Amino acid sequence: MASSYFCVIVIFLVSLPFSLAQSNGNIGIDSSLTAGDGQNPWISASGDFAFGFKQLQENEFLLSIWFNRIPEKTVVWHANISTNVILNPVLSRGSKIQVDASAGLILRDPRGVLRWHTDSIVSDASRAFLDNTGNLVLFSRENTILWESFQYPTDTLLPSQELEIGRMLISRRSEPNFSQGRFYIEMEEDGNFITFTKDVPNNRVYDNRYTIAETGIESNPDNPALKVVFDDSALLSVLRRNNQTTDIGLPFVLTNSDYYHRITLNFDGVLTQYYYPRSSSGNANWTVAWSKPDNICHEFIAQLGNSACGYNSICTLNDVKRPGCNCPNGYSLVDPNDEYGNCQPDISQSCEKSDRGSSAEHIFDFHILNNTDWPISDMQAISPSSEAECKNACLNDCLCSVAIFRSLSCWKKRLPLSNGRIDNSLDSKVFLKYRKSDAPSLRPGPQVEASRKGVHDCRTFKLTMSLLLGSSVTINVLLIGTGCLGFYLIYKKMITKNTGGSNSADVNLRCFTFIELDKATNGFKEELGRGAFGVVFKGVIPFGFTLAVKKLDSVAKDTEREFRTEVNVIGQTHHKNLVRLIGFCDEGENRLLVYEYMRNGTLASFLFGDHRPSWSQMQEDSVICMKNVLNQSRTNTGIRGTKGYVAPEWFKNTQISTKVDVFSFGVVLFETITCRRNLNDMEVGGEDEFFVLTDWGWDCYQNTLESIQENASSRPTMRTVSQMLQGIVEVTNPSFSAYT
């Protein structure tokens, strides 16, 4: 028994120095860690940082340093880019890191093959040390620094870390992939702190670069830059040889004692400073303090290679200035798992031998995007050009895949397209060419996904039942058929409910979810105008399509059947001078109408604004997008329409007919001719009086008033009105008795 106690005491005493060593960040010679064997990592004295094998997947590990007290264990350094020995940082179970007196840190895979090591200058190491700043240091027997991780950064800087001339930050391949990425940040000898890209496979440096210009760094022979410093107060600055500094980031009031800080070159090329509260109980997230560039989609243009998104992709910026990438319609990701990768056309866009003898119009057509640009990849510029000429130029050119029309100029482009981005200041149209015989459909919405889910579930059900009842083919067939039919009917019902049935589908309207429209309008933030029954907001959906979203007031929310009927009728109305209904939302109390966006404003702003059109302009055959004031309902219940445009019979107990639309049209036509509002306050003789345009017009006895007769039977049909405007039918004088 005594010997047993003695053994326990010996074991305790032997292990005590090692335990104490770990408590103060020291790691002794011959200390080692093995991936996947359950060993604890080496911890700094404060417990803030850890060094060891961070598990990525079941059998994948990363030799790294990470924030130890943060639940997500954010990596700040890893054995990868500091030397070219290890190109893929992912290690398998059984890999081993050891502190060696003659070679420093040595990393071997499970077969004993050397994967990575510290510099060869290390020859008399006495210990390793992980300090409270996150810096892993090798000391000699004389206690001098032989090697430190701060001198060989990967993609992150920590407070008290410096980036000297010639040292770089290198982004990872993607968020979960720690392999070498495309973006680099370097302090140059001329004092410029720059971002640039490389072709990773052959290590070729591209000429494109982004200078963090806000720093004011300039080449100054008398006072050259020395290094970039991320100091203890979490401020990034450039230190010059005379100890003057130039700030790069923002002065930070959140101290390093209360918050963790890091500056990371993200995989998408955005250099960002983050902070995280030390006192968090685990429910906090990294918060962005600042980032550069402000808009990488616009400010970083790669002449060779690409910027944040892959070839043929479109870059958009989110709320924290990070880019998102989307393939345009007719294109899909080469690698479905890499949303920042390249997009490829789903079908061929070039001419084929079989096309000979057919016109280009019969073979090709275009998908149209607004305010989108690929600023390089031009094959031809045409100026001046009309929109039609631009389309035809690309349509009849076998090498042209995309045409961009802007400011009376046309740019024909060939694939691949690079540096794609959304830019609402462009006022441009993009024509994406596709072959009609293989026309790609629009991106699948929720209804299509539900349908696919139904098919998937049916197959799963089918497989399960086959396994359970494999002894009887007949029973299998019956049960499988019944099961699939049931799933089909259920999902068909779901799809019908979401899309409003076959009627809505027939008019090609999209059924939006309320969440989609809330996101598109940024929480219904930018108001465009107000109508009789709702407010119209500006919205943008993926790929840059701008919409006008009308959020109906509660007083305008009919029963579901009435709402769907009106949507169906309006959706069938198509005319170049009328705003087109694109879709709708019908979710409980949330009922919204989605229209195309009128980029040049409403007819009202054109007619009643400060710069009203002249009579000669009004006579021109121009296309004017008219606001929606016409009523599409046929009912005796409830007044429909906008105040001032509503026909008198709505206020009487009489039958409502198509003539109510004729009255509304007459009011709009009269407003167009006079450039006056139908209902307005005006000052007459020093007093404010209410002004009704139709009453004033009757006094002036204008022929156009035949459309706005109070007696519906006296009004012409809409067809006759159209013929009058075209000069086909003579304009007759309105009946005085009919109006009065």
300 DSSP assignment: -
Pairing of strands 581-587, 510-511: parallel
Name the maximum alpha-carbon separation found in the chain.
126
Average pLDDT over residues 102-125: 85
Q: What is the CATH number of domain 504-596?
A: 3.30.200.20
The CA distance from 140 to 101, in Å, is: 9
End-to-end alpha carbon distance in the chain? 121
The pLDDT, as a whole number, for residue 442 is 44
- Identify which of 600, 648, 659 has the alpha carbon closest to the alpha carbon of residue 626: 600
**Above 60 in pLDDT, residue 638?**
no
321 in a labelled binding site:
no
pLDDT at residue 495, as a whole number: 40
Q: Which residue has the higher pLDDT, 11 or 539?
A: 539
Amino acid, single-letter form, for residue 512: F
pLDDT digits (tens, 9 = 90+) for 423-432: 888 888 999 9
- Average pLDDT rounded to a whole number, residues 407-413: 93
Homologous superfamily of domain range 603-739: Transferase(Phosphotransferase) domain 1 (1.10.510.10)
Confidence of residue 256 (pLDDT cuts 50, 70, 90): confident
* Nearest residue to 300 via CA among 276, 329, 271, 320: 271
CATH architecture of residue range(s) 23-150: Orthogonal Prism (2.90)
Residue 482's φ and ψ, nearest 5 degrees, are -65, -45
pLDDT at 732 over 70: no
Best CA proximity match to 264, nearest among 50, 49, 56, 74: 74
pLDDT at 698: 62
How many C-beta neighbours within 10 Å does residue 233 have?
14
Burial of 726 (0-12, 13-18, 19+ CB in 10 A): exposed
Tokens standing for 569? 């009728």
Interval 552-579 mean pLDDT: 67
Q: What is the pLDDT of residues 500-523, one digit of tens each?
A: 443 443 456 788 888 889 988 989
Q: Which helix (H) or strand (E) holds 598?
A: none
What is the pLDDT averaged over residues 54-71? 93
509: left (phi over 0), alpha (psi -120 to 50) or beta: beta
Q: Do domains 23-150 and 153-292 have the same CATH topology?
A: yes
Distances (CA, A) of 702 to 16, 238, 307, 666, 674: 105, 75, 62, 11, 11
- Secondary structure element (H or E) that encloses residue 316, with its range: strand 314-317
* DSSP reduced 3-state for 4: helix
Return d(Cα 183, Cα 267) in angstroms, integer: 7
Radius of gyration of the chain (CA): 35
Supply the pLDDT for residue 105.
93
pLDDT grade, residue 298 (50/70/90)? Answer: confident
What pLDDT does residue 110 have?
93
Mean per-residue pLDDT for 428-456?
56
Residue 280: its pLDDT value, please? 78
> Residue 554: which pLDDT band, with cuts at 50, 70 and 90?
low
Contact 269, 307 (CB under 8 A): yes
Other C-beta atoms lying within 10 Å of the C-beta of residue 468: 11
Rounding to the nearest 10 degrees, give the CA dihedral for residues 5, 10, 11, 13: 120
Phi–psi pair at 571, nearest 5 degrees: -65, -20
Q: Which amino acid does the sequence have at 506?
A: D
pLDDT band at 413 (very low <50, low <70, confident <90, very high): very high
Residue 256 · residue 232 · CB < 8 Å = yes
Q: Which of 204, 157, 199, 202 is nearest to 182 (CA)?
A: 199
Cα–Cα distance for residue pair 112/60, rounded to 1 Å: 17
Q: Which of 250, 261, 79, 102 has its CA nearest to residue 180?
A: 79
Percent of the chain with pLDDT over 70: 64
Higher pLDDT, 483 or 303: 303
Query: Which of 21-35, 419-433, 723-737 has the lowest average pLDDT?
Result: 723-737
pLDDT at residue 6 in the model: 43
Q: What is the mean pLDDT of residues 237-261?
A: 79
pLDDT digits (tens, 9 = 90+) for 316-342: 988 888 999 999 988 999 998 888 989
Q: Average pLDDT of 201-227? A: 62
Q: What is the pLDDT of residues 621-636, one digit of tens each?
A: 443 334 444 453 333 4
Highest-confidence range of 55-59, 540-544, 700-704, 715-719, by mean pLDDT? 55-59
| 43-73 burial code (b ≥16 CB/10 A, e <16) | bbeeebbbbbbbebeeebbbbbbbbbebeee
> What contacts 281, CB < 8 A, 6 or more positions away?
none
More reliable by pLDDT, 492 or 206: 206
Nearest of 7, 49, 14 to residue 28 by alpha carbon: 14
Span of 79-93, 256-270, 626-640 with lowest mean pLDDT: 626-640
Exposed, middle or buried by CB within 10 Å (0-12, 13-18, 19+), for 554? Answer: exposed
Report domain extents, the chain: 23-150, 153-292, 446-499, 504-596, 603-739
Instruction: Please give the residue that has the higher pLDDT: either 598 or 224.
Output: 598
Question: What integer pLDDT is reported at residue 154 of this predicted model?
Answer: 93
Between residues 448 and 571, the one the model is more confident about = 571
pLDDT for residue 473 is more than 80: no
Sign of CA dihedral 708, 712, 716, 718: positive
Please check the confidence at residue 739 and state whether its pLDDT lies above 60.
Answer: no
Q: Listing from the earlier edge strand, what are the strands of the sheet with 26-28?
A: 26-28, 125-130, 136-140, 145-148
Q: Quick check: 448 pLDDT over 70?
A: no
Strand order in the sheet with 168-172: 168-172, 180-187, 193-199, 204-211
Query: pLDDT > 90: what percent of the chain?
Result: 25
Six-digit token pair at 679? 């209902």
pLDDT of residue 710: 66
In the predicted structure, residue 133 carries a pLDDT above the cut 90: yes
Chain-centroid distance, C-alpha 500: 28
- Which of residues 357 and 480 earns the better pLDDT score? 357
At 672 the pLDDT is 75
* The listed CATH number (3.40.1390.10, 2.60.40.10, 2.90.10.10, 3.40.50.970) that belongs to domain 153-292: 2.90.10.10
**β-strand pairing of 168-172 with 236-240:** unpaired
